[in-house]
Amino acid sequence: MRADQWLSLLIIALMMGAFLWGRYRYDIVAVSSLLAAIIVGIVPAKNAFSGFSDDIVIIVGSALIVSAAISRSGIMDVALRRFSPERRGPRMQLIILVAIVAALSAFIKNIGALAIMIPVAVQMARKSRVSPSMFLMPMSFASLLGGLMTQIGTSPNIIVSRVREEITGQPFMMFDYTPVGLALSVAGVVFLALFYKLLPERSRVETSMDEAVAIKNYTTEAKVTTPSGAIGRSVSWLQKPAGGDAMVTAIIGGNGQRRTPLPDTVLKDGDLLIIEGEQSALDKIVSEAKLQLSDRKHEPETRQDISSVEAIVGEHSRLIGVSAKDVSLFHNTGLNLLAVSRRDRRFTERLGEIKIRNGDVVVLQGDLQKLPDLLREWGCLPLVERDMKLGNARNGMIPVIILMATMGATAFGGIPVATAFFAAAFLMVVTGSVPLREVYQHLDAPILIMLAALIPISDSLRTTGTTDIIADLLSRTAEMLPPFGALALILVAAMAVTPFLNNAATVLVMAPIAATFAEKLGFRPDAFLMAVAIGAGCDFLTPIGHQCNTLVMGPGGYRFGDYARLGLPLSLIVAIVSVPILLLVWPI
């Protein structure tokens, strides 16, 4: 081997060791490795930043925005109630999630299936008071297994089909992958349901901060109007979406008469409801029952700049001792008072009539450009920035329609995944499904920088000729093994190479090796090509070999070494299950 080949292997080995050590954040390790590769000359300086234009970076970044839009749409709240998570334990929820993701991944791109279900998993975890890390990595692994079931489920299957057509004149068909893929998916779901506890519990720093300032007793006021689905419904029906985290404390009829909010009290057109609970629970009640949150309307031309913010009333605030009605808050400032929280106090009076005190926490809605100055003027200090849904408009089914169109375009329209997801992210922004001001908050920069830095380093294995040496070594080793051993070697080698070449490149490198080896020994190439597709589609050991694993790394708060804890035994199961089934379905 030449010096550049040894250097390429050495830098990758040191980088993997640093990832597993975990002392430094993964993007710092990746960038340091890229700089080292440039210095020693195995990555040309002109190609150093080629990773930033790679499809994987575009796909992951776009999928993060798409997933955020799906989460904001509110459609996931409806899905959660279908699953009735409060009646099922976390293990059953995990089984439901991984089974759905695996099934979806058979017919749409696995990263699309995962993007749809990540918001569901996060909300399920929050509802069940467990870490999202319990669900997200198993879902990612399930999406990889589900993608093995059909030709369109994952890119390696499509590429292997083309390679077979070049060799035999006949490509693999849509469901030729199903017998082996289905068996692996079932085995994988069973394993994940039984051994998910191999994963350590992780949480994001942002989540911890969010919980530190969580406020349980906001009080807001909402009106039942003609478009509302609450007319003729009971109070218990209205409160159901909140899952016990919010309740109606008072009902004021259109004539000003108060009614006791008993569970079976029927709601009427024009009723004013005083509701108390967490802001996310209040939002679910208001949005799903189509209640009118405020009588105050902003001008249409500034609607796109309207936002909500949490703030604490300071000791010198001009609001102390007065109500929003007393100071004509909206008419004087353009601010809507959406909710008030006071420690150990339950309100039953109208929101605008509550006398504000020092230390109260309020939710104010107004022009985003004017909010900082207005808060300062009125002596209110904004709390830690976090996602405020109460009072923010959402677009319902629009994000779901966009995502479904994207999946259809990739499956049947021949549009590349990167192009389709980039277009979907753009449409999510221009339709308001994700506010423009929040777009870059959802792009997980450390993840994207890590990917962009790793791509040229991984490519150095190819450009230095190291992959050719590995391929030759595999061919010589496989010739000394029995058929099942050679088949297992090809599969395991594809698994091992995938983290460094990405799955499509792995197929392009390994498929010709597998076909040539089969031809030399007089075997049919089908089982060996299938083994390459399975190995390339099953990277369970790292977050960098497949974009699905990368996508869940940030939301799950995972460390690099966490993937091998659950992924190594799953990889062994894939090898043990797939080899005999391949020999049975595709005799050599």
What are the tens digits of pLDDT across the range 468-488?
Answer: 787 677 777 777 788 888 889
Span of 32-41, 69-78, 154-163, 193-202 with lowest mean pLDDT: 69-78
Return the pLDDT at 305.
62
Residue 438 and residue 436: Cα distance in Å, rounded? 5
Return the pLDDT at 570.
95
3-state secondary structure of 410: helix
8 Å CB contact between 204 and 555: yes
3-state secondary structure of 541: coil
Q: What is each CA distance from 283 to 229, 236, 263, 267, 389, in whole angstroms?
A: 15, 16, 20, 18, 6
Q: What is the largest CA-CA distance in the chain?
A: 91
Residue 428 pLDDT exceeds 80: yes
Span of 7-16, 31-40, 263-272, 281-290 with lowest mean pLDDT: 281-290
Residue 57 and residue 447: Cα distance in Å, rounded? 9
Residue 261 pLDDT exceeds 80: yes
Between residues 554 and 205, which one has the greater pLDDT? 554
Q: How many residues does the chain have?
A: 588
Share of the chain above pLDDT 90, in %: 16
Residue 145 and residue 102: Cα distance in Å, rounded? 6
- Torsion sign (Cα): 524, 527, 528, 532: positive
Q: Which H helix or E strand runs over 222? A: strand 218-223
What's the pTM? 0.66
Which residues, 6 or more positions from 147, have their beta carbon under 8 angstroms from its beta carbon? Answer: 105, 106, 109, 110, 153, 154, 157, 181, 537
Please calculate the CA angle 344-349-351 and round it to the nearest 5 degrees.
90
Instruction: Give the pair of three-digit tokens for residue 161.
Output: 């089909």
- Matching residue, tokens 């990832």: 19
Instruction: For residue 310, give the nearest of 433, 437, 218, 432 by alpha carbon.
Output: 218
Return the pLDDT at 190.
94
Residue 168 pLDDT exceeds 70: yes
Residue 188 binned pLDDT confidence (cut-offs 50, 70, 90): very high
Average pLDDT over residues 269-296: 81
Residue 221 and residue 150: Cα distance in Å, rounded? 51
8 Å CB contact between 273 and 251: yes
Return the pLDDT at 349.
84
Average pLDDT over residues 168-186: 88
Span of 136-140, 141-145, 228-232, 267-271 with lowest mean pLDDT: 228-232
Average pLDDT over residues 206-234: 73
- Torsion sign (Cα): 260, 265, 270, 275: positive
Between residues 471 and 341, which one has the greater pLDDT? 341
How does pLDDT run across 440-471, given as a tens digit for each residue? 877 878 878 887 888 888 778 778 888 778 76
Residue 222 and residue 270: Cα distance in Å, rounded? 10
Domain 301-382 has CATH 3.30.70.1450: yes
Q: Which H helix or E strand runs over 147? A: none
Return the pLDDT at 584.
92
CATH class of the domain comprising 214-294: alpha beta
Q: What is the CA radius of gyration of the chain?
A: 28
3-state secondary structure of 579: helix
Instruction: Give the pair of three-digit tokens for residue 575.
Output: 């090898």
8 Å CB contact between 275 and 285: yes
Range(s) within the chain of domains with CATH label 3.30.70.1450: 214-294, 301-382
